[in-house]
Structure 1
Amino acid sequence: MEVTLRCSLVALVLAACGRTPKPAAVTGPVAPAPPTDAAETRPPDPDLNRTPPKPLLSIDWATVPLATEADANAVWKQIAPTGDDWEAKLDEIPVAKAGPLAIALLRGGNFTCVPPQPPRDCAGLVLDVDDPTPTATMADPCLRRLLALWSIGALEEADLPQVIDALKAVAAIPPPESQLVAAAIQAVPESDHDRRLELLSIAFKAGQRDLANGHVGMLDEAHLITAVQKHHLDGALDALSAESHRKVFLAAITDEALAPKARAEAISELVAADDKLAPDAKTALVTATRSKDCYVAAQAARSLEVRGDKRFVPRRPRTRSPDVMMRALCVLASYERLQPNDESSLLPSFVPPKGLEYVKVLFDPLSETDTDGDGDPRTERSVNLIPKADVLVPEVDDMIRAFRRCKGTTCSSDERDFRFGFKAVSGELWFASIDLVDRPPCPGR
């Protein structure tokens, strides 16, 4: 029985080992699912399938004549830019055709969008140039200035001789225009110092002082010297030094056409360069003490004083002339601004023994109480007698500014009027009173 069972098990195992294996199932590639109806009807991506804009210009650029300025002006009439579409139309002009159009437009001029305003009290301060109205045409200078900016950008260096006169006219446009003037200057290659200086001097004379001074540093040494001495561009002096260009600085000190601040800085730099004040420098400083500008005269007097020459320190003149007294006080105000805090004021020597009557009129547009009884609640008047020994120059910085705008014995800054009063004592004038009167704010400010 046991033998029979073993044989049966062996037979079973052998049968299992000898069984033919079942073949593996063969699988083919899986076919993709058919697209759904939603995928088939998806609209095209608008960012990838944009419809080209319709051209605004119907000009055959391949055949349009541009050989003459008249041809170019005729094409400008076809372009007919307005304040609403000028950018889009200019974008359609081929680069190869831009040059003749740019030259013709620049030579046509009329780019002053904001005419210069005469100086007057409460004149609105214009800082920006307005954009053209949407209906503006090529006759509008505000649109033409934008076309001029495009035109300058389209110029090649070879075009410069044809437009240099036009660029000079652009450089003569006064503030608030600055962008177009700067573009005209930058259109001249930096290596062309003669033309660059010519445009800079034109812009400087037109009132573009900061702009011209900002570009003058690109000139070479010879043209910087010419800029200072011939064209009086004070910014050129900043690129020179008193040590290397002594003669230029000596001449600058006495150059009445040069900006007062530049002359004063030239004095400081020249004096600092000398361990001992040289005779030529001293001569220039003595001359500068008689400058029409009080600030320059004070700077020269102070520089001489610190080097031991006290002859030109401000003193009360023995005079009966209010004009002479005003000049002396003008120099004194600037001189006192240069004094250190530990020095005494020189003003008491101008004041009579009684002292200085100091009148102050404040202006408050919101006040409703007439505190001083003058009938105007917006003003408050106070009167004080300052002892002679305690007198100081009041509001010295503002007074210096005011002395640049004087009529008789009244000088005005933007903030207040300074009214100087003189009194004759023994046939000589003394500084007896001063009124500081606040100026009302300009309407709309």
Structure 2
Amino acid sequence: MLDTVFRARRAITTVGESARSIGIRDGRIVAIEPLDAPLEATRVIELGDDVVLMPGLVDTHVHINEPGRTEWEGFETATRAAAAGGVTTVIDMPLNSIPATTTVEALEIKRKSASGAVFVDTGFWGGAVPGNVDDLRPLHDAGVFGFKCFLLHSGVDEFQPLSSAELEQYLGQLQDFGALMIVHAENSDAIDRAPAADGERYRKFLASRPRGAENMAIAEVIEAARYTRARVHILHLSSSDALPMLASAKRDGVLITVETCPHYLSFTSESIPDGATQFKCCPPIRESSNRELLWEGLRDGVIDVIVSDHSPSTPELKRFDIGDFGVAWGGISSLQLGLRAVWSQARTHGLTLVDVAEFMAARTANLAGLTRKGRIALGYDADLCLFAPDEAAVVSAASLEHKHAITPYDGMALAGVVRETWLAGEPIDLAAPPRGRLLRRGDV
């Protein structure tokens, strides 16, 4: 006798979309059978033709900011938003919280803050900053999923960037024990020489973060990875100019993966109003021609995954009072909306919901080494998203679950509606106490 059987006329499994019965016992998927298979269960759920049973999404780029900046976001509100958006696993970034996750002691402080407060399963990245090279292996052994570094100022003083020499040194250390370095790749010298970003005009802000800064930094990461043979991952790719050299590096056997984000795939610089600082992020949203080339990079396999880079702040830090891109905090709030935003664009760019699940669940789980997440497959956690892809709804920022009612998607009509999100074989009830787990690398 199974705990639950889903009878889904549309289920996304490892062989694509088809009609299947999915059996669950003790929080795991234990049966994948034809739709009419005689599976017995305590609970049988019949899904209509309008609902697709998808794997729960795995978002490996989320800034939760707790402790220290909990007024920006927190574990409870962020993971509520994740659950409402079909995300069942998040991995929290090591900066914007105080202390930053650059030591084992700081990691334990963060775990204590998250304990009992997460609605979805939650893991943690470690930080790589000047002076903590000896902390990398202890953090790895304590269960972080890899390490994040910046190649320019991060925006917060407690998380300083690595120099070129430090990047190679740290990659050499990580290569010794097979750990992953994820990199915010923008060149600080190029940005220092660019025009200032002050004022309301988005065009001025875009000029202050030129593609060349991103391209130069990515080239540096490629060569450092080639030399050290370490695993590297390029965060939030916005410059399509970098796609040819990334493709070349992959052909050469450099151990490099690449992500982009829903906002780079959805918005264009030409459509951003002056003063609309809810659109500010670094690297910036670029031109419509650039957006189309990013979609081509996904289709070609150069870009591996799509993640939210949910990076919220208080309304005051967004400086809506003056609309000045030069002083407003840079970060897009979108954790609850990633699936809908990507699907709205993917369906017009020749991609299917199977492709979306691959980019936002299966491959993101692979990136972090989550071997029981991101797929509807035997032995995997029964983390599921019930998604109605042909419905549509207008986004209301005030109705979102994250802490502040700020998002550039406010007022947009997006395709798809998340009907339910299931974690470990049970629906997530946002009115009940949180029951997400804190994950350690190697445990899952």
TM range, smaller chain: under 0.3
Q: When you count strand as a share of all residues, which structure comes out higher?
A: 2
Higher relative contact order (CA 8 A, sep 6+): 2
TM-score normalised to structure 2 length: 0.27
TM-score normalised to structure 1 length: 0.27
Q: When you count helix as a share of all residues, which structure comes out higher?
A: 1
> Which structure has the larger Rg?
1
